[in-house]
């Protein structure tokens, strides 16, 4: 399957230094989050006012993965030099409303992935008004295209898209990384079970035998002496 090789930590050939350090940002809910959190496969979508439709399509494409404990989707909206910088509170409020509405649509996918939590609590959108986030991700310039970065479970970048226009190919890469992580976890669990099973449990030592009774020992019942 495409993306199966993503388990290897090979830097993408994009001319951009791959992201390996932890990057923090404040989302629309005013929560500080780690974008490339360890232990998860993270799909980061970079969008702008010109690529909102493509971002929504990409988000819907990965709906089947939402709610999995090993996957998260984060969207960064590049609003540098836009009119949105004049009304940030209104923009953030609209983002929160959109997330509230999408959470309803995501609920069946969460339940299918055995996740009964509220999807809204794990839905993240980051508005970059002043360029504090995008340059850290290697996006120094604005783009009209939908961009993306795929992070592995170690938090390191394993794939980068300058333009996402083939959603099925993107999904195959993401699913390949998730499947590789899942297989790695299963292999570790199997090895641990095998290691535990190979340990021979020694039975408890039998009690030490009582010492023999001497033949000249007096009887516990003393016979009366003959008259």
In a domain, 196, yes or no: no
Q: Where are the alpha helices (DSSP H) in the chain?
A: 52-61, 88-112, 167-198
In a domain, 61, yes or no: yes
Residue 218 has pLDDT above 70, yes or no: no
pLDDT value of residue 15: 63
In a domain, 89, yes or no: yes
**Half-sphere exposure (Cβ direction) of 192: Cα atoms closer than 13 Å:** 6
- pTM of the full structure: 0.79
Helix, strand, coil % (nearest 5) of the chain? 40, 15, 45
Residue 202 has pLDDT above 70, yes or no: no
In a domain, 62, yes or no: yes
Assess contact for 182 and 68: CB atoms under 8 A: no
Domain total of the chain:
1
Give the least confident one: 64-73, 102-111, 135-144, 179-188: 179-188
pLDDT value of residue 6: 41
- pLDDT per residue as tens digits for the range 115-164: 999 999 999 999 999 999 999 999 999 999 999 999 999 999 999 999 99
- Distance from C-alpha of 120 to C-alpha of 96, rounded to nearest angstrom: 9
Which structural domain, as residue segments, surrounds residue 98?
A: 10-189
């Amino acid at each position: 399957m495409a993306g199966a090789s993503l388990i290897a930590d090979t830097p993408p050939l994009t001319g951009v230094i791959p992201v390996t350090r932890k990057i923090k940002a404040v989302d629309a809910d005013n929560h500080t989050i780690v974008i490339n959190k360890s232990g998860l496969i993270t799909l980061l979508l970079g969008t702008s006012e010109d690529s909102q439709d493509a971002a929504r399509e990409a988000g819907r494409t990965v709906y089947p993965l939402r709610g999995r404990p090993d996957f998260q989707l984060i969207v960064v909206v590049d609003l540098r030099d836009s009119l949105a910088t004049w009304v940030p509170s209104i923009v953030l409020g609209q983002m929160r409303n959109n997330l509230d509405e999408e959470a309803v649509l995501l609920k069946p996918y969460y339940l299918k992935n055995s996740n009964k939590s509220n999807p809204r609590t794990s839905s993240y959108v980051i508005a970059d008004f002043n360029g504090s986030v995008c340059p850290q991700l290697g996006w120094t310039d604005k783009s009209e295209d939908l961009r993306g970065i795929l992070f592995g479970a170690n938090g390191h970048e394993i794939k980068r898209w300058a333009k996402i226009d083939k959603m099925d190919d993107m999904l195959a890469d993401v699913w390949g990384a998730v499947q590789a992580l899942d297989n790695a976890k299963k292999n570790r669990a199997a090895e641990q079970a095998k290691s535990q099973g190979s340990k021979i449990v020694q039975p408890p030592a039998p009690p030490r035998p009582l010492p023999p009774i001497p033949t000249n020992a007096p009887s516990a019942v003393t016979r009366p002496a003959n008259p």
